[in-house]
Amino acid sequence: KDFTFNLDRGDKLVVIGPSGIGKSTLLKLLVGEYEKDGGSILWGHETNVGYFAQDHHEALEAGWSAYQWLHKFDPNADVEHVRSVLGKLLFSGEAGLKKTETLSGGEAARLLLAKLILLKNNVVVLDEPTNHLDVESIDALREALIAFKGTVIVTSHDRHFVSQIGTRVLQLSSKGPQLFSGNYEEFLERYGTEYLHH
């Protein structure tokens, strides 16, 4: 209630708070997965929002190779471009021929990230993206988000992950939301609350 916030281009907002407080709900409202009860959500006119859900395996239809699945989102993209996007996310050569239904959790997550890159989303909303990822994939994701020029909104329980990405912190708690401009380490120094795993 009575909460307003603005994000600027290039902001990387980390949403933290205890389980069940509404972090996923907030993200789903932002991307239109849930209908809001009141208030307004306004995106800038040139925003192109990509959403990375927790249950990301369900977002992949079976029966395609990783390469085919990705290419159908931009049928005009040339083969080399699609391959280079896949390669950046650790799908090289034969790995791009794997069928979507045989991918591991980490591979499925990386393929969905490849889609966000291919579609040139300038806002990326990620709900617990490190779930089901191995260490190599988490590192690849973290580096990609740090290098990303657009806006990021992410929830995560991985302290190391959010410490390196976030430029702003939104804490959801029973006392209400609190927005902090600064990274997660600065937020902890100021408030000392710790919801994330070490």
H/E stretch holding 137 reads helix 135-147
Question: CA torsion angle for 156, 16, 144, 82 (degrees, to 10)?
Answer: 70
What pLDDT shows up at residue 198? 44
H/E stretch holding 122 reads none
Per the CB < 8 A criterion, the answer to whether 10 and 165 are in contact is no
What pLDDT shows up at residue 197? 54
Question: Where are the strands (E) in 115-195, listed by range?
Answer: 123-127, 151-155, 168-171, 178-181
pLDDT (tens, 9 = 90+) of the chain, 198 residues, equals 889 999 999 999 999 998 899 999 999 999 999 999 999 999 998 999 988 877 666 678 889 999 999 998 888 888 888 988 888 777 777 888 899 888 887 788 788 878 887 888 899 999 998 887 788 778 878 888 888 889 999 998 888 899 999 999 999 988 889 999 999 999 998 887 666 654
Q: What are the angstrom distances between the C-alpha of 150 and each of 63, 69, 103, 189?
A: 32, 24, 28, 27
